[in-house]
Amino acid sequence: MNNNDILRRLRFALKLKDSHAASLFSTDPTNAVKVDSTGFRARIAKEEEDDFVATTDLELTAFLDGLIADRRGLRENAVPMPQPERLTKNEILKKLRIAFALRDEGMLKVLGRGGSKISKGELSALFRKPGHKHYRECGNQIIRAFMMGLIDRPTDLPDDDEDEGSRNSPSKPVGKGAGKHINPYKGSKKGSSRGPSHDATKAKAGVRKSKSGDKIDSAGTEKKHRKSKPRKVPASD
């Protein structure tokens, strides 16, 4: 799988228009490459097509960094990062992970939807530094499965999981009390499991008085006031 294949699959998975996709190459000012719509179409062409132009590692890096900036915002006080001599599939997967703000569970879900079932340990190995004893090289199958999983991915995500960096996430609730759980039963009578509205209704329906002043219970039965009779005191002899 070459860089053109990756661009073409990402464009399809994310449903990008050519003009938008071309703009991503220069979205991140720290790593900008100028590519217009015609140039983008040439960079997603297949090798056997006449207008094929091979996408360089520098161009694909600029596109992925632009995708991150487009989805998550520009980094504050960002400085240009030194570019690796060769863009590996591990680096590509890492940039895609950042772009979609995915943690381990989210990554595994996307990969699973794309037909690749791997463990957390295997996933972690893909993001180790080269030379680490647990480092695992990312192959075409993993990249292909990830991009396939993006096609059927729900669009309401923070993105399965939330925020891995210091970028602003517009999907987070903002404002005083945002996201705070309010207990609807708080303040209700102790021991009641039906909430405050039930208690209030119960209190109103408890005891009423008739026009004559007699009490009427919740069943509508009028209770007459009984006058106490004087006690008879036996006459002393």
pLDDT of residue 147: 95
What pLDDT, on the 0 to 100 scale, is given for residue 156? 43
- Buried b / exposed e over 202-228, threshold 16 CB at 10 Å, is eeeeeeeeeeeeeeeeeeeeeeeeeee
Q: What per-residue confidence (pLDDT) applies to 59?
A: 96
Sheet holding 215-217, edge to edge: 207-209, 215-217, 222-223
Output the pLDDT for position 181.
Answer: 45
Q: Going along the chain, which residue ranges are E strands?
A: 207-209, 215-217, 222-223
Report residue 163 as tokens: 């925020």
Q: What is the pLDDT of residue 237?
A: 46
Is residue 11 within 8 Å of 150, Cβ to Cβ? no
Question: How do the pLDDT tens digits run along the chain, 237 residues long?
Answer: 999 999 999 999 999 999 999 999 999 888 889 999 999 999 999 999 999 999 999 999 999 999 999 999 987 776 666 666 789 999 999 999 999 999 999 999 999 999 999 999 999 999 999 999 999 999 999 999 999 999 877 654 544 444 444 444 433 333 344 444 444 444 444 444 455 445 554 444 455 555 555 555 545 555 555 555 555 555 554
Q: For 132-191, how does the pLDDT look when each residue is reduced to its tens digit (9 = 90+)?
A: 999 999 999 999 999 999 987 765 454 444 444 444 443 333 334 444 444 444 444 444
